[in-house]
Structure 1
Amino acid sequence: MSQNVVKWSYNIFSEKGGLSVQVKDNNGRPVNVTMLVITLVTGVFITVLNQTILATAFPTLMKAFNISTATVQWLTTGFLMVNGIMIPVSAYLSAKVPTKWLYITAMSTFELGTVVAFLSNSFPMLLTARLIQALGVGVTMPLLQNIMLSIFPMEKRGTAMGIAGIAIGVAPAIGPTLSGYVIDNFGWRTLFGMIIPVAALVLVASFFFMRNVLPNTNPTIDVPSLAESTLGFGALLYGFSEVGNKGWGDPVVLASIALGAVVMALFARRQLHLKNPFVQIRVFKNHVFTLSTILASISNMAMVGAEMVIPLYLQIIHGKSAFESGLTLLPGALLIALMSPVTGAVFDRIGARRLAQLGLFLLTIATIPYAFITATTPSIYITVLYAVRMFGVSMVQMPLTTNGMNALSGEMIRHGTAVNNTVRQVATSMTTAIMVSVLTNVTNNAKPAASLLKLDPLAYKHDFFNATLSGYHAAFWIATGFSAVGWILAFFLNKKQRSHDVDVAEMKEDKEAAE
């Protein structure tokens, strides 16, 4: 097994494997690409893991700090809000700060937050730690994509981004499983304690292998744009995150979403009139980038929606523990880890169109059976369907992200990365809000009258059980709808893009032939 892993690693970074490139930093010194990529991917993996690592720890934390469900949710809500706010800022930072020191600063910030979380003896302290962590995560993920897209030529970016997809796609998927195991056996502090030494090793490696590979243009920051971006994205993400607790009709939810939408409209308008915009909104004028971003977000929406609902179904209907429900999803998470580099390499050969069509088709047909699950549906059936869905996601998410970035010029890539990640973050929050509200509303509308509980307790239990299943069915139909819309849109994708170097070479050959 170990020999196969070594062989695979060698092939990926060899001439034959397709990722061997000679890269020099901004000072003309050669870069150890293999160690640079390993350092980046490892760092991003542990930072992105933190988005879902507390998924099954909430009951334990509520008991430890004597807080309510609404209060403990802020550990995720606050993290996602700060993370989302930092993503647009990353475009400015990547142009302003040398790559090496930007990454080291982001990882140091994340490590500081993790240490504070491990030492927390009160909820405010733990929440502060999560917000500090989010500051670092909001930079590391876009920075990973920026670097991978910059140091690899277009014809090798699919494989490179496929490797990046191991961190971005797998880490959130294994978070609940890992969290459940750690909570059951070691306690909540270990969730942070186990990450501290890994982050420390990444920091040490960063001093040796991270290089200044992104160009710095020393842009000036537009303070009004920063304020609008922070307020707009913050309000949107907060509004969507509160839907599950307060419902769509709550004044705070409606006001937050409305405020966020208005401020983001003002933000977009301002960017179009600035000579050096904070975030280049004009990337949306490129229809290849726009459609690719939309489809990558749709696949993420379908994936996140199922990841949220399936564990609830397994725990409530099947009576499984949080750890057991997480194990049911683990094969799918491992499959996307195995397939991401493979589908990335396939993208380099055939482009995104056929991959997206097949991937979204698999995602759609593997979601439909979930809309018919019952109380006796075998767990293995759920596991297999989920694995098929993740196989489809591996064909869509990173290949389409790469496809969109390939349509942009070098200077626009950092803006495209920020925009792509921001859209995905907002879409994910919106999906969670929609799925939770549909699940809750359908269940509440179908549940039996309270009077039946006294008249016939068994009938009440049976009807309430069916009402809960109806809620899950409706939620899965929503997820199916997302996937189906994406599958239709995939037919409008561009065919395989060619490398600029190839076009130049062929033009030169034609010119020589003509002479």
Structure 2
Amino acid sequence: MIDLNNLKRGPIMMALIVGMFVAALNETLMGNAFPELMNSFDASATTVQWLTTAYLLVVGVLVPVTAVLQQWFTTRQMFLSAMSLFFAGTLISAVSPAFGVLLTGRIIQAIGTGMLLPLIMNIIMTIYPPEKRGGAMGMLGLVVMFAPAIGPTLSGLIVDGLSWRWLFYLVLPFALLSIIVGAAVLKNVSEVTKPRVDILSIVLSTIGFGGIVYGFSSAGEQGWSQPLVIWTIAAGGVALVLFIWRQLLLKEPVMDLRAFRYPVFALVAVLMFVLLMTFFSSAIMLPMFMQGVLMMTAFKSGLVLLPGGILNGLMAPISGKLFDKFGPRVLVIPGLAIAAVSLWLFTWFGETTTTGFLIAAHITLMVGIALVMMPVQTAGLNQLPRHLHPHGTAILNTLQQVSGAIGIALYISIMSGGQKQYLSNVSDPASSIEITKGLAAGINNAFWFGVIIALVALVLGLFLRKEKAPEQGQQEAE
């Protein structure tokens, strides 16, 4: 282990932030390119959707395993391997002559991203003392929120003016820069213990998390009655129960669930799960409303969401600094209240909704999320002892993937049910005007569900308190 007191953190943060930027940007960069990809490869929408579904599935399967990978390989090995895989996947995607090659490139990108997300959070938790982690996580939050926010707008510009391949060509220099800077400045800050790897746990983890993410993602598109949906969720649920049971029995678990013995971390895990269900689902619902009800183009809908995304990113470092000074409650409780109010505003959306009201409501949501997201994660991870940091970051990132899949499936199901109910009560259900009104009614129902979820998160937030990190207590005892 190196001397963390004399470590130059600035260059390391630069490498991490550039790497995180390209990984986060990549998650929303593809959406507007789907129509062009369907034409280029003569593929259906269901086939092209696998570019996103497979990406999320691989990330969801790989993240739980990263805790043990970080104990087998050095920080430099993990980061450079993750970014190299991401670079290779991006290059393969850019030059792909067939859809299968493009899908392979996306899967390789996802492997790199799945390794990268928890690794970066763990590096920050390691190189910064507890009293400075909020600011550092806030800087990371700037990238995590800002990059996906500009993704739809940027992809709309690129697809309109250039080939879809430029979505990958433009990412390549940033990925290469992160590799070069990382190779030059990144130090090994984690301890390589090489614990015994339990293969059965990895198999159960893959089936469990993969089955749940895939099953719920498919339910959102195909409906809950499909046998494939039912069986994948059931298999995932059984495997997940067996995985949890096995982790509690093992001396060296793949994912150490003893992190849940720490009450603040356990509360944060539940709070993040509930909050992210709403956050990811809103990101899907809003473009559907703007394009399906207000008849906006994909590019314009991306522009409408841009101010909120930018403001959210700019607020993340500020909320991190405030966390370091005042603790989580001062930020989290107002943030959750603001998020609940914004979702209530979303229930007013209809065919006559103005662009200004849309932007204002979305900005309100993004301000609330900025006050909550990074502070609450930092509060939870701060309570864990250092040896549990890799497991804590893996748990939170896994919950992010699972909650996103479950939330989107629930929201789309509620939306579809609301639209069907509306159309069943009108005289001409085939009318395009009535279909549009039905879609608006269904989306309103989904956002009312979001209000309830946000209020549950607010109640959970009331129990959050600031705890001293274990290393702070050791320093004071000495």
Deviation string 1:425-448 (CA, Å, 9 cap, x unpaired) is: 100111111111111221122225
Spell out the pairing of 1:303-322 with structure 2 (5 A cutoff).
Answer: 303-322=279-298
- Counterpart pick for 1:489 among 439, 455, 460: 460
Compared CA separation, residues 416 and 504, structure 1 to 2 (3 A): closer
CA contact (8 A) 1:299 1:396 kept: no
Give, in angstroms, the shift of residue 504 of structure 1: 5.3
Taking a change above 3 Å as real, the CA distance of residues 65 and 497 of structure 1, as seen in their structure-2 partners, is same
Report the residue type matching 1:90 in the other structure: T
- What is the CA deviation profile of residues 2-42 of structure 1, one whole-angstrom value per residue up to 9, with x for unaligned ones? xxxxxxxxxxxxxxxxxxxxxxx538895321010011011
Instruction: Give the structure 1 partner of residue 42 of structure 2.
Output: 66
> Aligned partners of 1:430, 1:498: CA distance in 2, in Å?
33
Deviation (angstroms), 1:167? 2.2
Distance 1:287 1:28, change over 3 A: closer
> How many Å separate the matches in 2 of 1:366 and 1:79?
30
Separation (CA, whole Å) in 2 of partners of 1:461 and 1:443: 13
2:381 alignment counterpart = 405
After TM superposition, give the deviation of residue 500 of structure 1 in Å: 4.9
Counterpart among 445, 448, 454 of residue 474 in structure 1: 445
Q: Is the 8 A contact 2:385 2:471 kept in 1?
A: no
Q: Secondary structure at 1:452's aligned position in 2?
A: coil
Q: How does 1:201-280 map to 2 (within 5 A)?
A: 201-280=177-256
Q: 1:373 is matched with which residue: 349, 352, 355?
A: 349
Choose 34-43 or 301-310, whichever is displaced more.
Answer: 301-310
Aligned amino acid, residue 77 of structure 1: T
Alpha-carbon distance in 1 for matches of 2:310, 2:111? 28
Match of 1:297 in 2: 273
Name which of 491, 498, 503 aligns with 2:468: 498
Distance 1:85 1:450 in 2: 44
Give the stretch that moved more between structures: 54-63 or 108-117. Answer: 54-63
Matched, 1:196 2:172: yes
Q: What amino acid maps onto 1:184 in structure 2?
A: D
Per mean C-alpha deviation after superposition, the further-off stretch among 249-258 and 293-302 is 293-302
- Which ranges in structure 1 are unaligned for 5 or more consecutive residues? 1-24, 509-515
Rounded to whole Å, the distance in 1 between the matches of 2:143 and 2:4 is: 29
Q: For residue 338 of structure 1, what is the amino acid of its counterpart?
A: L
Q: Which amino acid aligns with 1:140?
A: L
What is the aligned counterpart of 2:311 among 328, 331, 335? 335
Q: Is 1:123 paired with 2:93?
A: no
1:416 pairs with one of 384, 392, 411: 392
CA offsets, 1:174-227, max 9 Å, x none? 222221121111121000010011111111111111110111111121111111
In 1, Cα distance between the equivalents of 2:380 and 2:3? 29
The alpha carbon displacement at 1:354 in A equals 2.6
Amino acid at match of 1:471: G
1:164 to 129, 137, 140: 140
- 1:427 matched to which residue of 2? 403
CA distance in 2, matches of 1:396, 1:505: 28
CA drift of 1:96 comes to 0.8
8 Å contact kept, 1:293–1:400: no
Give the Cα–Cα distance (whole angstroms) in 1 for the partners of residues 60 and 220 of structure 2. Answer: 19
Which residue does the alignment assign to 1:102?
78
Instruction: Judge conservation of contact 1:155–1:499 (CA < 8 Å) in 2.
Output: no
Matches of 1:282 and 1:502 in 2, distance apart?
20
Secondary structure at 1:408 match in 2 = coil
SS at match of 2:347: helix
Partner of 2:18: 42
Q: CA RMSD in A?
A: 1.8
Q: Does residue 386 of the first structure (1) align with residue 362 of the second (2)?
A: yes
1:335-363 deviation per Cα after TM superposition (whole angstroms, max 9, x unaligned) = 11111111011111121123111000000
**Is residue 75 from structure 1 mapped to residue 51 from structure 2 by the alignment?**
yes
Q: CA 1:445/1:151 → structure 2, altered by over 3 Å: closer, same or farther? A: same
- Relative to the length of structure 2, the TM-score reads 0.96
Query: Larger deviation: 403-412 or 290-299?
Result: 290-299
In structure 2, the residue matched to 1:150 is 126
Aligned residues: 478
SS of match in other structure, 1:398: helix
Distance 1:171 1:157 in 2: 21
Q: Residue 442 of structure 1 contacts residue 474 of structure 1 at CA under 8 Å; is this kept in 2?
A: yes
How far apart, in 1, do the equivalents of 2:427 and 2:338 lie? 44
Aligned 8 A contact 1:360 1:483 in 2: yes
